[in-house]
A and B are shown apart, each in its own frame.
Chain A
Amino acid sequence: MLHKLLSGLSPTEEDEVLALGAHLTLPSGGSLFRLGDAADRLFLIERGRIRLSFPMLVRGQQEDVLFEEQGSGETVGWSAMVPPYRFTLSATAPLETELIALPREALTAFCEREPEIGRRISLNLAILVGQRLQLVQAMWMREIQRAVELRSQHATAAR
């Protein structure tokens, strides 16, 4: 299994990092974490899918709305590496899913001992966070653009 977070590491280095974690199997519909929970582990998806969602008020009742889905090789829960270490989305498994849970403390301690591996992992994490930022930025710009167009249409209709 090729994990994006461990991209660029040798198979031995990869094994060393994976040995820090614990295998976890979520049943279909199982919850991995909830928005606001303390984030002390990040998760590498071995098999299956993780659905990331956020709460939205729909007709007065709270509903979990999909934000994105991640599959094998992807990393979820990187809030564990970013202060204030709280999850900002909720994660569930739409089908049985296997993951490796990497505790933050063990990972950071390992990266301090092995700075070259730490640099590689930090770079991969930066890519992960940067890609998410670019994606969200584009989605946000599109929504704003739509809001501007809607407003212009209303103004034209009111004339």
Chain B
Amino acid sequence: MTDLNVRVEHLTRVEGHGNIVVNSKNGEVIDARFDIVESPRFFEAMLLGRRWPEVHYITSRICGICAVGHTSTSLMGTEMALGIKISEQAHTLRKIIFYGEQLQSHILHAYFLAAPDYVGAPSVIPLASAAPDVVKRALRMKKMANYICEVIAGRHVHPIGMVPGGFSRYPTVKELKALKEYVLGFSADVDETVKLFTTLKAPEYWRETEFVSLRNPKEYAFYEGDIYSSVSKKAIPQIDYLSLIKEECIPTSTSKHCRANRDSYMVGALARFNNNYDLLHPRAKRAAEAIGIKPGCYNTFMVTHAQVVETVHCFEETIAGLDRLIEGDYDPSQQPAQPTRMSGRGVGACEVPRGLLIHDYTYENGLIKNANLIIPTGMNLGNMDADLRALAPKAFGKGPKEAELLMEMLIRSYDPCISCSCHILKVEWV
């Protein structure tokens, strides 16, 4: 059986709306696509004319799961454009809340969205009775991650305290100490999570591709760094992102794709892991070894496993960051830094859970004149199609349900976040 006819409408257990289409005849793959069918939301246009102190409230609403990521990237863009220099403690807190979001998102994806496929369950709901300890652990860890964000900025979904120049309210030292104690209590859960993923073996698959992520020689980059490609092996400053990342129309398609040095590239946990493995926390490296993932991994299914490795890293870095604040010269009465000019261009670039995110703003007299947003899932679309095409022959000979599941697992591995709908998304109305 080399004829495939896979069509999954409104793929489940992903954020947003997308369809998988894979067709083959006599062993030849005719069509292999992940179509986005989300309603367009027009964020760039909505930003036009908005005032600098409110821009990040709007951009946070691009995505509920990466709300802290969008807020951080947006603030970074505004701060660069208007010459706002944030304090060291604001910088550390921005990083910690970023780790909190990575933890929340990775735990949600690994346990609730990806894992059910590995144990033959349609969702986490039947697992609540079949494996209650595992589900309770996942919920407990998710709560911990949310709590990190809550202490720092009021809540995770659309953080309140993050403002241009710093924070509208800084947590007290007592709150930071209590947070650290609380987070420390989850060390065993982190180990158990790693252990679980040593048993969930990814399907065999290998396709060489280009990995793009931030790279910062000082640390495993989430919050700041230059933009690095595994193909050119060069890092460029974030403001020059357009010299690497190109949107273009594909002759066979009416939609836009993103390219760097090749036809498509991957962003996200696996790209970061491959590009920045050397900078992982030693405990995260041990987790990688236990799980069986090594740098230079071209198995897309292992994005989830890379997320688990990052979970360990973010857990350790959260505690290290809190220690730095508690032991340092921390001043909770600090006020946000103010703009030094009212016009200019700024580019924010962060590694949100699903990969590189770019917000590019031009301000004139404190109002947005131009905005460009590049979203991780948009960047991954070309690579998803290439992976679906390469995976299709693996599904030859399998029954239709099994073939469908394999394709679904592949796309779910990317942890796509489709609501982050921006101009870069390819849309084909189905």
Q: Does A associate with B in a complex? A: no
Report B's interface with A, CB cutoff 8 A.
Answer: none
Report A's interface with B, CB cutoff 8 A.
Answer: none
